[in-house]
């Protein structure tokens, strides 16, 4: 899940490997629903070798506990660590939507769409739809839901949101 950095000095390889082990353990703990253990493991990973991935997943764990301010802070550290990694931009946008701060979320989500290291653009399109829907701009929301479906035709949340919104608009 975490790619080894280019030109990692030999004396850092073992430290980096320990960071990856803690990250993977945190991911497993989070998948099993043990969020407190996941947070501990992500923090240990960061202590060994800070990565954008570990900060982002730490934020995701905080968000599971509805600790959105902590989640946003962790994602901002992810961006400081690697500004090319798109996930934390999307995640900040999603957390701001949960806090009913959709207007603020839009800029973060747009940055996710242009991030060089972001495979899951469908989530940014979907979250932009959510943001515009929260703001009452249903046409713009529909455009982003449609973009999400165009990028990932099987993404059920976007399909459902698009159908619900079309029903609301008719």
Average pLDDT over residues 1-12: 84
pLDDT digit string, tens, across residues 102-149: 999 999 999 999 999 999 999 999 999 999 999 999 999 999 999 999
Domains contained in the chain, CATH given: 13-119 (1.25.40.10), 121-170 (1.25.40.10)
Assign 3-class secondary structure to the chain. CCCCCCCCCHHHHHHHHHHHHHHHHHHHHHHCCCHHHHHHHHHHHHHHCCCHHHHHHHHHHHHHCCCHHHHHHHHHHHHHHCCCECHHHHHHHHHHHHCCCHHHHHHHHHHHHHCCECCCHHHHHHHHHHHHHHCCCHHHHHHHHHHHHHHCCCCHHHHHHHHHHHHHHC
pLDDT digit string, tens, across residues 13-23: 999 999 999 99
Supply the pTM of this predicted model: 0.94
pLDDT digit string, tens, across residues 64-105: 999 999 999 999 999 999 999 999 999 999 999 999 999 999
């Amino acid at each position: 899940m975490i790619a080894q950095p280019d030109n990692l000095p030999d004396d850092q390889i073992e430290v980096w490997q320990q960071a990856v082990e803690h990250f993977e353990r945190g991911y497993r703990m989070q998948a099993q629903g043990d969020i407190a253990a996941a947070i501990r493991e992500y923090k240990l990973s960061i202590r060994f070798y800070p990565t954008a991935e570990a900060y982002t997943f730490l934020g995701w764990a905080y968000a599971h506990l509805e600790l959105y301010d902590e989640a946003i802070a962790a994602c901002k550290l992810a961006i400081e660590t690697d500004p090319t990694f798109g996930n934390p931009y999307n995640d900040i946008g999603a957390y701001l939507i949960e806090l009913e701060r959709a207007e603020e979320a839009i800029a973060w989500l747009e940055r996710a769409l242009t991030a060089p290291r972001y495979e899951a653009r469908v989530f940014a399109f979907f979250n932009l739809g959510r943001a515009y829907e929260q703001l009452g701009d249903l046409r713009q929301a529909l455009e982003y839901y449609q973009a999400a479906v165009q990028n990932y035709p099987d993404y059920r949340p976007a399909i459902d949101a698009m159908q619900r919104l079309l029903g609301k608009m008719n």
